[in-house]
A and B are shown apart, each in its own frame.
Chain A
Amino acid sequence: MATYTIFVNGSSKTVNADPDTPLLWVLRDELGLVGTKYGCGIAQCGACTVHLDGAAMRSCVLPISTISDQKVITIEGLDSENSHPLQEAWREHDVPQCGYCQAGQIMNAAALLKENKNPSDDAIDEAMRGNICRCATYPRIKKAIKTAADKL
């Protein structure tokens, strides 16, 4: 066990954890931030996507010992009013089915829109390839990303 101080959603948090504990489980079990989901644990599904200094990362494969002072943003901290253009677009298109993958989808899409304000269909496909939606809400996710991009 070691003590780590990490910066999550704008505040610093101190946790005790084994160095190899993935950020995912620190967020979920220690910090009660359960919006970030576990799907595979091996960076194959995207359910656990968070932002690390603004980049989309799979938190299931990020040991807590490697985070240091990088800024972590989770779905809970994406927008203080839950009114990020993507969240608004998600409401408009009524995207979720079961909803389990959606936080990861939104976090991944948010990183895409930061890089590319007007992504083409192919660019969206490419960026979102790593996020599985078992309910297959892909057509809506894509539409919602475009709607959000239009508003940026």
Chain B
Amino acid sequence: MTPSINKSRRNFIKVSAAAGGGMLIGINFLNCAPDKIPVEVMKAIPKEWFEFDSYIKIGETGLVTIFSANPEIGQNIKTSMPMIVAEELDVDWKDVVVEQAPLNTEWYTRQVAGGSQSIRQGWTTLRRAGALARKMLVDTAADQWQSESADCYVEKGIVKHKDGRELSYGELASQASQRETPDPESVPLKKSSDFSIIGKSKRNVDMEGILSGEPLFGLDYKREGMIYATAMRPPAFGQILKDYDDTETKKINGVLDVIKFGDKIAVLAENTWAAMKGKRVLKANYTQEGKAEDSEYHSKTLRDHLEKKSDEPLRVDGNVDKAFAEADEIFEKTYEAPFLPHACMEPMNFFAHVTDEKVDMVGPIQTPAWTQSRIANLLERDAEDITIQMTRMGGGFGRRLYGDFALEAAEISHLSKKPIKLVFSREDDMLAGTYRPASAYKFKVGIKNSEVTAYHLTEAFFNGSMFGQMHSNFPCGAIENYRVDSHNIPSNVTTGAWRAPYANFLAYAEQAFLDELATRLNKDAVALRLELFDKAKNNPVGEPHNYEVDKFVGVIKLAAEKSNWGNAPDGVYQGFSAYYSHNTYVAEVAEVVVKEKVPTIQKVICAVDCGIVINPKAALNQIEGGIIDGIGHALYGDFNFVAGQTQSTNYHQYRLIRMPESPEIEVHFVESKNDPTGLGEPTLPPAGGALANALAAATGERYYSQPFVKINDVLG
């Protein structure tokens, strides 16, 4: 695209938000000063929009608005999902404007960002939405021509008759939108070989706003009369508020009010700075009611549980104990990882305006529908009274699944009777997290005649245990005697999903273990895996396992081939890792070099099978990000509790990976015609293992605990 088209596209987007109407009402905070719009662009802006379904409206000029229903957290679905609609609608992508839809449980199913499921679960719905509208437009043209739809075809938003007549979507929209919606099942979908938008990289639809600093994010949101709020929460888990003194707070310029709600105290102010400052001088006393947990306790508790079997194992094939008794050798390793905050770049925040008539919520949220029902409960209101608009999110990683911040905002607005925006400082964000739980895994195998005859995995996890079919992941099915035990240990630390839940550390432990096991067996790491896959394919053990051998082997072989596995140049040490999660198969080879005695990761070669790739450049972005995120947290993710209180309060005490430590990433997709799966998460789980295995190859040292680099090593 040339820059001039860029600019007009940007203006289209602005104008369309300004033009408003129907579903757009209320979303026009997207900074759309009408005086900035050049006159020639105005002509293309429709006077009227005709709605086809909840995803599409078409104006009389032929401009198409496609609504993106799911929340955007940086996974780029605001571009990729409308691409799927546009493909079946058969329009030119440059004539498409994308708008974020508000929460509407009648129009949309699953308005959630989580589990890498948006694309996978939206795929058919979105294609149908496009195909239905296309059919209505084609049928309308055929009627006008007194002809058959079968004699018509579509090219870039123009219905053409084989005799040469043409009608544009813009000309047809008004009439077509009145038609009865055809039965979705009756509308054929395109063959993947006919795709012209899907599979071609399309730039992020919010690019212009991001590059020019427009207010896209929750923290940027402003409303006439809005005031700002910060909240002081108990500083440690297990504590409750005893009393507080707000004398100093009230002396701060700009502070308007101090309100207690539950165990928390809100400071309301004219601006963010005053609200933050007011909170800083607020004095409060707390009493310890619940257990004051610290990291030593967490670690010991996890390890103690690993020595026990659970009452109900998650899976049992054969008899591991018998096999262990008969084995030549037992090989056993334990892996441990700490709690982790999400550390999204945009701290938690939410706008709320609670009045007698309605509850108006705006902000960054991965789960708008769940949040709506929780606010309804909290305020004892009907869900219908509550509207939720989703802003672009400055990262989520699971943190914004939990609407605690939205509920707090609603409560503060309810009590203060004002439109407020609740803002977390970075410190608040670190102290009031829904952390990735600390966990530990023990792997124990029995070896007889150089074969693995038994495999016993024990999990110890706070506030959860592996879910779904995770216990039937590889190498389940490949080993005669196989058992998974799991201990779900309660903790009063608030916990939740963190990018690739469970898999984010389980994969690390498993892949580091398999690597060490291969070394123990004198086998190549890839060869050992392929041997096991062979068994799982030809002679599977027990109930069906949770992976497709061919797809898994496909990515492993591709990564091995592209990385020249086993033949790295002198001085380059490779580590292998492969994992299946979120319906996507991933294999990664990390390459470590030793520079001045310091091992450094310089490259990761990655093979992915995620079915059809919708938006290649954006898909690569997710993959690159996932891998670097996995490596960063394996290296540096250090987070500790003392007496229930987090010890890291800001980025100076919580190290995130930065540019100098980030490796180059090379990605290879398995060519596929299968329905697409997600990419937001699945490249993260194998990354830490690939790194650990490469480090072991380079230095001989094995890492059994994350992070490899402790924060105290850095801070001294």
Contacts and interface: CB of A to CB of B under 8 A. Distances in A.
A and B: interacting chains: yes
Interface in B265-282: 271-274, 276-277
A91 B207 contact: yes
Contact of A25 (B201, B211, B273, B346): B273
Q: Which of B215, B216, B345, B651 has the most CB of A within 10 A?
A: B345
Nearest to B7: A81
A32 B73 CA distance: 23
Contacts of A134: 343-345, 395, 397, 656
Interface in A9-44: 17-18, 20-22, 25, 28-30, 32-42, 44
B271 to A, nearest CB: 4
Contacts of B207: 90-91, 94, 96
Contacts of A130: 658
Contacts of B222: 32, 34
Interface of A: 1, 17-18, 20-22, 25, 28-30, 32-42, 44-45, 47, 74-76, 81-83, 87-88, 90-91, 94, 96-103, 106, 124-126, 128-142
Q: How large is the interface on B (under 10, 10 to 19, 20 to 34, 35 or more residues)?
A: 35 or more
Interface string B199-231: 001011011111111111101101000001000
Nearest to B627: A136
A124 B622 CA distance: 22
A113 to B, nearest CB: 15
Nearest to B6: A91
Contact of B425 (A34, A41, A75): A41
Given A45-B345, A76-B213, A100-B394, A129 B650 contact: no
A37 B346 contact: yes
Nearest to B217: A100
Q: Main secondary structure on chain A at its contact with chain B? A: loop
A98 B345 contact: yes
A126 B632 contact: no
Nearest to B202: A94
Contacts of A102: 210-211
B348 to A, nearest CB: 12
Contacts of A30: 271
B254 A18 contact: yes
B345 A39 contact: yes
Interface string B46-89: 00000000000000000000000000011110000000000000
Interface of B: 1, 3, 6-7, 10, 73-76, 201, 203-204, 206-217, 219-220, 222, 228, 253-254, 271-274, 276-277, 343-347, 392-397, 425-426, 617-618, 621-622, 624-625, 628-629, 632, 650-652, 656-660, 662, 664-665
A38 B347 contact: yes
The 3 A-B pairs at the shortest CB distance, nearest first, are namely A35-B213, A98-B74, A100-B394
Given A25-B272, A134-B395, A42 B650 contact: yes
A133 B662 CA distance: 11
Contacts of A87: 211-212
Given A47-B345, A125-B660, A98 B617 contact: no
A50 B637 CA distance: 29
Nearest to A88: B3
B141 to A, nearest CB: 36
A131 to B, nearest CB: 7
A100 B395 contact: yes
19 contacts: A22-B273, A35-B214, A39-B346, A41-B276, A44-B651, A76-B212, A81-B7, A83-B3, A87-B211, A90-B207, A100-B346, A101-B345, A102-B211, A124-B659, A129-B660, A131-B659, A134-B344, A135-B74, A135-B345
Given A76-B212, A87-B211, A94-B207, A132 B651 contact: yes
Nearest to A84: B211
